[in-house]
């Protein structure tokens, strides 16, 4: 993974390919979250970068010092059991479902397609850019579709829905997702529901209903808890698929510090509840700020907002010159995705940069 070019001298292309409609284009898949890559274009901002190019909560779960033994020794079975138990409670995973932990959801996104013989997959797009190449790499044909209904009409036995969707925030009903999973199971396939941003909409989550054949739900720890660097994600699915994923992941796949951080955060319902309220308020505040600046809000979740403007490219440049990085989209040059500012200073900075 390390040599992969995740930056690039041209900022206009940086981030542009991360969310794709025709995803059988070869990598590099570009991502937000690395403003250093933008320095080739905009230089080093005098106040440092304000990175609003991701959907990661800017107010991280407060961690103390990692106990030394979590670095030193291999993770214990008891520690692995504990994180799964904590995740089961936090995500309301039912008894009938199995849960697997991984070093980030990305590993699961890449692994799930390799569990099945090459076939075809429909991906509800536009969406997060890593799903399509993972299925392609495993030999599956891609069918890009614009809605879950169009998806069900396709003959593909495999399906991917990001829920709520990134970047537009589209959601589905639990009933619709479960019915679609059952349909795909009948075709010999599965439905992958990537709930990377579902922490802010728990009532819409399909996770509490997982465990039946044909459904794999992915949960990302790092985004809602603001701890993307720890690398921790989960798959909630059948025991059979879980066992295959565990085999592929192998022993000690998740680091000691990740297990330690994850257990604390997932076992803190007060912080989770408070954070949901705060993110909702901040998302509303961001909408108001962007609307005052002439952008239309066209979607998003409480962790990011999708804005539209005929001047989006100019605004992107203007913000970049002010040291603020947001996410552009090659296929929709009128769209910009904004993450939430994390402190008052950053709110003011964004407001000023949009005004100037």
207-246 positions binding its own copies, by CB under 8 A: 222, 226-231, 242-243, 246
Contact yes or no for 224/91 (Cβ under 8 A): no
* 340-347, Cβ contacts within 8 angstroms, sequence gap of 24 or more: 340/52, 340/57, 340/58, 340/279, 340/282, 340/283, 340/286, 340/303, 340/304, 341/50, 341/52, 341/58, 341/282, 341/286, 342/58, 342/59, 343/58, 346/50, 346/58, 347/285, 347/289
Region of 77-85, 174-182, 209-217, 325-333 interacting with its own copies (CB under 8 A): 77-85
Omega before 310 within 30 of 0, i.e. cis: no
Would you say 271 or 311 has its CB closer to its own copies? Answer: 271
Single residue of 40, 44, 76, 153 touching its own copies by CB under 8 A: 76
Region of 28-36, 115-123, 160-168, 315-323 interacting with its own copies (CB under 8 A): 28-36
Would you say 180 or 234 has its CB closer to its own copies? Answer: 234
Single residue of 31, 131, 327, 349 touching its own copies by CB under 8 A: 31
Single residue of 43, 47, 73, 285 touching its own copies by CB under 8 A: 73
Per-residue CA distances from 149 to 123, 198, 212, 227 (Å): 12, 21, 21, 34
> Cβ 257 to its own copies, closest distance in Å?
5
> Cβ 90 to its own copies, closest distance in Å?
15
Q: Which residue has the tokens 């991701």?
A: 54
Single residue of 46, 48, 74, 270 touching its own copies by CB under 8 A: 74
Task: Compute the distance between CA of residue 197 and CA of residue 213 in angstroms, rounded to an integer.
Answer: 23
> Cβ 11 to its own copies, closest distance in Å?
14
Single residue of 46, 72, 203, 356 touching its own copies by CB under 8 A: 72
Would you say 37 or 160 has its CB closer to its own copies? Answer: 37
Residues numbered 32-71 forming contacts with its own copies, rule: CB under 8 A: 33-34, 36-37, 51, 54, 56, 60, 63, 65-66, 68-71
Residues numbered 137-196 forming contacts with its own copies, rule: CB under 8 A: 137
Q: Is 7 in the site for its own copies (CB under 8 A)?
A: yes
> Cβ 300 to its own copies, closest distance in Å?
19
Binding-site size for its own copies (CB under 8 A) equals: 73
> Cβ 355 to its own copies, closest distance in Å?
27
Helices (H), the chain: 39-42, 68-72, 77-90, 105-111, 131-137, 148-153, 174-186, 239-249, 256-266, 269-292, 312-321, 344-355
Residues numbered 249-308 forming contacts with its own copies, rule: CB under 8 A: 249-258, 261
Residues numbered 81-110 forming contacts with its own copies, rule: CB under 8 A: 81, 83-84, 98-104, 106-107, 109-110
Task: Compute the distance between CA of residue 337 and CA of residue 53 in angstroms, rounded to an integer.
Answer: 7
Give the list of residues 6+ apart from residue 64 with CB closer than 8 angstroms, or none.
none
Q: Which residue has the tokens 């922490």?
A: 199
Q: Is 345 in the site for its own copies (CB under 8 A)?
A: no
> Cβ 219 to its own copies, closest distance in Å?
13
Contact yes or no for 161/125 (Cβ under 8 A): no
> Cβ 296 to its own copies, closest distance in Å?
29
Contact yes or no for 334/310 (Cβ under 8 A): yes
Contact yes or no for 54/196 (Cβ under 8 A): no
């Amino acid at each position: 993974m390390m040599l992969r070019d995740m930056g690039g001298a041209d900022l206009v292309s940086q981030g542009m390919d991360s969310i794709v409609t025709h995803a059988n284009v070869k990598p590099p898949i570009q991502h937000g979250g690395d403003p250093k890559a933008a320095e080739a274009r905009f230089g080093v901002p005098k106040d440092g970068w304000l990175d609003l190019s991701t959907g990661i909560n800017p107010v991280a779960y407060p961690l103390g010092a990692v106990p030394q033994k979590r670095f030193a020794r291999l993770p214990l079975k008891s520690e692995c059991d504990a994180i799964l138990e904590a995740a089961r409670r936090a995500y309301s995973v039912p008894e009938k479902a199995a849960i697997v932990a991984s070093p980030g959801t990305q590993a699961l996104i890449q692994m799930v397609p390799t569990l099945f013989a090459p076939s075809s997959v429909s991906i509800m797009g536009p969406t997060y850019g890593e799903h399509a190449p993972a299925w392609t790499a495993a030999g599956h044909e891609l069918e890009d579709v614009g809605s879950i209904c169009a998806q069900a009409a396709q003959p593909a036995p495999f399906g991917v829905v990001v829920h709520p969707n990134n970047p537009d925030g589209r959601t589905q009903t639990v009933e619709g997702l479960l019915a679609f999973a059952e349909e795909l199971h009948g075709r010999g396939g599965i439905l992958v529901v990537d709930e990377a941003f579902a922490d802010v909409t728990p009532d819409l989550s399909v996770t509490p209903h997982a465990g039946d054949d044909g459904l794999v739900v992915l949960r990302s720890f790092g985004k809602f808890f603001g701890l993307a660097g720890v690398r921790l994600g989960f798959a909630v699915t059948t025991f059979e698929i879980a066992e295959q994923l565990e085999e592929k992941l192998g022993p000690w796949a998740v680091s000691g510090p990740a297990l330690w951080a994850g257990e604390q955060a997932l076992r803190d319902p007060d912080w989770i509840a408070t954070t949901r309220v705060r993110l909702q308020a901040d998302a509303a505040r961001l909408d108001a700020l962007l609307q005052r600046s002439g952008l239309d809000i066209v979607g998003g979740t409480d962790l990011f907002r999708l804005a539209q403007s005929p001047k989006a490219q100019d605004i992107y440049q203007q913000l970049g010159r002010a040291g603020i990085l947001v996410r552009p989209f090659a296929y929709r040059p009128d769209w910009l995705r904004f993450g939430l500012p994390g402190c008052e200073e950053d709110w003011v900075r964004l407001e000023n940069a949009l005004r100037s």
